[in-house]
Structure 1
Amino acid sequence: MLGLSVSVFSVLLGALTFLVCIWFVRRPSNLPPGPWSLPIIGYRFKPGLIHETFIEMAEKYGPIFSLRRGPFLVVVLNDISAIKQALVKSAEFLPGRYVPGHIKWTIPESNNNASVVWSSGKPWEDQRRFSLHALRSFGFGKKSLVPQINLEARYLAEEIKSLRGKPTDLMSTLNKATANVISQLVFGRRYEYDDMEYIEALQAMVDVFASIPETDPVVVLKFLIHTPWYKKYRDACSRSKKFIMSQLYMHKDTFQKENIRDYVDAFLADDISKEYTLEEFWRIAFDFFAAGSETTSLVTSWAILYLASHPEVQRKVQMELDRVVGRGRQPATEDRQDLPYCDATLMEVMRIRPVLAVIRRLASADLTTKGFFIPKGAVVMSNVWAVHHCPKTWSKPHLFNPDRFLSADGRKVKKSESWLPFGIGRRECLGIQLARMETFLFFTNLFQQFEFKLPSNEPPPSLRGQPGLTIPPQPYRICAIER
């Protein structure tokens, strides 16, 4: 009798396992082709950069393919036409972002819409509308912000001059400068570069962005965040929240409705504060503070590395700056039209090393893209890296060549629909105007004043980048020689 019970249990367990397998590997008709995925876990990625893996898979399965990650069906788009059809022409079916598990853990459980980056629907629209109105009143994306950015560029230059050309990793210094620009908009103040509270907060943000690669299982299995493997990430998030909350409480204690000083004050004075408590609003403020500093610092760091690795490009940039701006004043946004080679060089930096390699969306309804069926609930990932490195669009895409963005006579910058560093469609980067202004001014200020050289006694640094939510360069040291 006991043997019969064991046999029945084994049969039932086998049947249940079979049904679970069918559930996770079933493929709706006309789904994009793709690799076999394991039950429960889904596709097992090899270690490394996910966008590179997607390019390899596209060579085997085509520019649109699908796979499973945990409980999610993922459809990957690797060419510009598929991305435009999905994110522009079918934007109403892809209105929200897919929120990775470790990111979802940081959003307050009391209000899962407390994030301007990761929310969807009306809450996202309301936050975006409020944020743009509030930040623009303090100069966000306007020429009135130029003196403030140039002042920070001067502080940055003085900090770099103090190094006297010694080989140094400048990433943390760049973070301090770019974070100060957004800090003045959000918190109404800048920090000294030796402020320990500020240094620790910025390091916490770096750890948040870099701790977990896109291929990590916690991206799709949120419950794993509570395991010991993710303690560093949890601690970094706690330190970031502590810093943001200290700013919010200080603003609450000193708030005067007739004297709105910054973005946080604008929140306290607006009706939107009735929808989010201060303990929920911290996540929205973090979005602006972190993203507003991370983008510019990464682009600037990549620009320094690439121009130091391509000194002929650096010379052309500096020759143009010397001719148009000279050494007696700082660059201004009005100079941009007369600095096409500088502008093209920045565009090439953002092409060859985009800050975000992939864009995530969540299908709110069934849709069809390029003849393939994408079911409701699927995660749609647009591989920006693949678009930026497509040989059909870009001649020798893996070579660093600013001339690809210039007209034949070199006097005008050429645009391309395949250049997507700030995303595409209705959820294009909220801070695109500020990011373009900031990156241009920091870039031109630095190369006006310094020549950047790789240390002669050290091996050349890698240009591949590190896995994470964004793509920072691997740590490298540089010599900044005052011109």
Structure 2
Amino acid sequence: MLPYWSNSLLSEVNIATLLVFSVVYFSVHYHLKRRRRRLANIPPGPKPLPIVGNFGVFLIPSFIRRRFGKASKPTSTPVEALRKQAAVYGDVFSLFVGTQLIVVLNGYDVIRDALLNHPEVFSDRPDIPAVTIMTKRKGIVFAPYGPVWRKHRKFCHASLRTFGVGKLSLEPCILQGLATVKSELLRRRLEVGQGGMDLTLLISNAVSNVICSLALGERFPQDDRQFGTLLGLMVRGMELCVNSPAVLINVFPPLYHLPFGVFGELRRVERDITAFLKGIIAKHRDTLDPENPRDLVDMYLAEMASQRAAGVEDSSFNEDYLFYIIGDLFIAGTDTTTNSLLWILLYMVVHPQVQAKVQAEVDEVVGRGRVPSLTDRGRLPFTEATIMEVQRLTAVVPLGIPHMASKTTDFRGFTIPQGAVLLPNLWSVHRDPAVWDQPDVFMPERFLDGEGKLARKEFFIPFGIGRRVCMGEQLAKMELFLMATGLLQAFTFRLPVGTSPPPMHGRFGLTLAPWPFAVCVSPRG
């Protein structure tokens, strides 16, 4: 028989347990009730599974597919999976990644309505753990919408214009990169023979050097080991965040601190990129002449000094923010343009008759005695139409950069709660049979009118629309035109004998990249 005090203690324990259980039960019940009320009238979508939500519908990364023996080059892509969902639930539908609500916007009318008619609500960026860890929600691409972002975007846009973006004055810088690519192709084709070569690193280096000239005031040689390492680190960082087990950081952020595997590698990548870029900033600081800025970094440091001298309190202009701006320029300005150029060359080898037609137009207008110039653009409509058609079919950033609802709002008859992530499905716009004839067919002529002149389409939006439209749009257009026309003027590209083209749906990640492919290069005389 237990002593009387034991019975009393047990009673107290039971009462405490009951109280804790009651508090937890009613707290969870209240939270779920509030959540159901908050999510009332959201867009329709497939029923989510517990914990993981609809993760498997469109976000299962390739490492999971490989783990269970699936093909490394799947025939179904995330954007195709989303197209099937839109066919069932409509152009505005919902998915859940864990407990996070994702609203997918499909079609030009819906995306235009959201991003142009509701800019104050739908221009924010979500707090995605893996991205936040790498960017600290600073810079231009991933920073939240607000006065700090607006000031920095305006400053960067003006600075890039100062150094030639959108102007003929930048043309020599791009053509210098083109000349390097051409000389390397001539040299390497003799080394590789008929086996073909992968052009990824060569083109990536040329594109990145344009960013280097604008942002850092210097170019790096093709064989510069440190610069090549930096580009490799940036590519690897994106792969880890999007297409490896490190994506699980978005579900459980403490995984970032694990000392082994891809988690430890991600931290090493971040450390090495930080050391390289901060070293460049320090060098600029030590040699700064505010009256004669050499590049964007100089202009930013001069602006910092100007605001300090003016006694501006709580200025958001600081070296830490500058670091993330440079990172954004490199990642956004290198990966997208590099992949666009690779896609253009891939489509040329798959459609040699189009390649020949582009070359004939360039020969007639430009000739062989000089390289193409931006002043030739208006006289090369088929060439421009071909570049645009490749951009339409590939949509290098197929789901745009995720947006977020900054407050609860009504949209198209649904309630979009504050904090919901919005994915503008640009791929759906460019493959919409309602606005494009035979949308899955490569047909550059669709961008020409009856007189053979370039016909621009409002629903051609490879750089997005709204206040978050790609800041580097003008730069990318200049690079794509000059590099593509210059390469096709000088060389004919084909697949190595006996090889087939890679799958044309590409590799889905932060950007849509072509699967690795090799080309044989023949000088055109």
* Matching of residue 45 in structure 1 with residue 74 in structure 2: no
CA contact (8 A) 1:423 1:429 kept: yes
User: Pairwise mapping of residues 145-164 of structure 1 onto structure 2 (< 5 A)?
Assistant: 145-164=170-189
Which moves more between the two structures, 247-256 or 231-240?
Answer: 231-240
Equivalent residue letter for 2:160: L
Deviations 1:89-127 (A, max 9, x none): 11121132224321110124xxx4444543320011100
* Matching of residue 201 in structure 1 with residue 243 in structure 2: no
Residue 84 of structure 1 is matched in structure 2 by 112
TM-score (norm 2): 0.85
- CA distance in structure 2 between the aligned counterparts of 1:115 and 1:224, rounded to whole angstroms: 26
Closer/same/farther in 2, CA of residues 269 and 290 from structure 1, 3 Å limit: same
SS at match of 2:507: coil
CA contact (8 A) 1:208 1:237 kept: yes
Q: Which of these residues, 259, 282, 303, is aligned with residue 249 of structure 1?
A: 282
Equivalent residue letter for 2:415: F
**What is the CA-CA distance between 1:276 and the residue it aligns to?**
4.0
Residue 413 of structure 1 is matched in structure 2 by 454
Closer/same/farther in 2, CA of residues 225 and 78 from structure 1, 3 Å limit: farther
Gaps of 5+ in 2: 1-6, 62-76, 309-314
CA contact (8 A) 2:399 2:425 kept: yes
**What is the CA-CA distance between 1:72 and the residue it aligns to?**
2.2
**What is the CA-CA distance between 1:40 and the residue it aligns to?**
4.0
Residue 69 of structure 2 is matched in structure 1 by none
Deviations 1:253-296 (A, max 9, x none): 21122321111111110036853432342111111122222222
Closer/same/farther in 2, CA of residues 240 and 24 from structure 1, 3 Å limit: farther
CA contact (8 A) 1:51 1:385 kept: yes
Closer/same/farther in 2, CA of residues 218 and 394 from structure 1, 3 Å limit: farther
- Taking only the aligned residue pairs, the percentage that are identical comes to 35
* Matching of residue 384 in structure 1 with residue 426 in structure 2: yes
SS at match of 1:270: helix
- CA distance in structure 2 between the aligned counterparts of 1:220 and 1:406, rounded to whole angstroms: 47
**What is the CA-CA distance between 1:179 and the residue it aligns to?**
0.4
Aligned-pair Cα RMSD in Å? 2.6
Equivalent residue letter for 1:269: A
**What is the CA-CA distance between 1:217 and the residue it aligns to?**
4.2
* Matching of residue 364 in structure 1 with residue 393 in structure 2: no
- CA distance in structure 1 between the aligned counterparts of 2:250 and 2:438, rounded to whole angstroms: 33
- CA distance in structure 1 between the aligned counterparts of 2:253 and 2:354, rounded to whole angstroms: 45
Deviations 1:375-404 (A, max 9, x none): 222111111111111111112222211111
SS at match of 2:94: strand
Residue 389 of structure 2 is matched in structure 1 by 348
* Matching of residue 281 in structure 1 with residue 312 in structure 2: no
**What is the CA-CA distance between 1:211 and the residue it aligns to?**
2.7
**What is the CA-CA distance between 1:334 and the residue it aligns to?**
1.1
Which moves more between the two structures, 180-189 or 59-68?
Answer: 59-68
Closer/same/farther in 2, CA of residues 194 and 113 from structure 1, 3 Å limit: closer
* Matching of residue 139 in structure 1 with residue 164 in structure 2: yes
* Matching of residue 34 in structure 1 with residue 59 in structure 2: no
- CA distance in structure 1 between the aligned counterparts of 2:255 and 2:139, rounded to whole angstroms: 22
Equivalent residue letter for 1:177: A
SS at match of 1:45: helix
* Matching of residue 450 in structure 1 with residue 491 in structure 2: yes
* Matching of residue 339 in structure 1 with residue 380 in structure 2: yes
* Matching of residue 184 in structure 1 with residue 213 in structure 2: yes
- CA distance in structure 1 between the aligned counterparts of 2:21 and 2:40, rounded to whole angstroms: 32
* Matching of residue 121 in structure 1 with residue 146 in structure 2: yes
Residue 373 of structure 1 is matched in structure 2 by 415
User: Pairwise mapping of residues 230-245 of structure 1 onto structure 2 (< 5 A)?
Assistant: 230-245=263-278
Q: Which of these residues, 429, 441, 446, is aligned with residue 404 of structure 1?
A: 446
**What is the CA-CA distance between 1:83 and the residue it aligns to?**
0.7
Q: Which of these residues, 433, 455, 470, is aligned with residue 474 of structure 2?
A: 433
Which moves more between the two structures, 27-36 or 318-327?
Answer: 27-36
- CA distance in structure 2 between the aligned counterparts of 1:461 and 1:26, rounded to whole angstroms: 48
Which moves more between the two structures, 134-143 or 174-183?
Answer: 134-143
TM-score (norm 1): 0.92
Q: Which has the larger radius of gyration?
A: 2
- CA distance in structure 1 between the aligned counterparts of 2:333 and 2:46, rounded to whole angstroms: 37
SS at match of 1:358: coil
Residue 169 of structure 1 is matched in structure 2 by 198
Deviations 1:19-44 (A, max 9, x none): 66666666633321011223443322
**What is the CA-CA distance between 1:193 and the residue it aligns to?**
0.4
Equivalent residue letter for 1:57: Q
User: Pairwise mapping of residues 87-106 of structure 1 onto structure 2 (< 5 A)?
Assistant: 87-106=115-134
Which moves more between the two structures, 187-196 or 12-21?
Answer: 12-21
- CA distance in structure 2 between the aligned counterparts of 1:176 and 1:447, rounded to whole angstroms: 19
Equivalent residue letter for 2:225: M
CA contact (8 A) 1:348 1:405 kept: yes
Equivalent residue letter for 2:475: L
SS at match of 2:502: coil
SS at match of 1:455: coil
CA contact (8 A) 1:186 1:264 kept: yes
**What is the CA-CA distance between 1:194 and the residue it aligns to?**
0.3
SS at match of 1:242: helix
Closer/same/farther in 2, CA of residues 114 and 431 from structure 1, 3 Å limit: closer
Which moves more between the two structures, 166-175 or 12-21?
Answer: 12-21
- CA distance in structure 2 between the aligned counterparts of 1:287 and 1:250, rounded to whole angstroms: 20
**What is the CA-CA distance between 1:354 and the residue it aligns to?**
1.3
**What is the CA-CA distance between 1:226 and the residue it aligns to?**
3.2
- CA distance in structure 1 between the aligned counterparts of 2:107 and 2:140, rounded to whole angstroms: 29
* Matching of residue 314 in structure 1 with residue 355 in structure 2: yes
**What is the CA-CA distance between 1:458 and the residue it aligns to?**
2.6
Residue 295 of structure 1 is matched in structure 2 by 336
- CA distance in structure 1 between the aligned counterparts of 2:21 and 2:405, rounded to whole angstroms: 39
Closer/same/farther in 2, CA of residues 354 and 390 from structure 1, 3 Å limit: same
CA contact (8 A) 1:317 1:342 kept: yes
**What is the CA-CA distance between 1:340 and the residue it aligns to?**
0.6
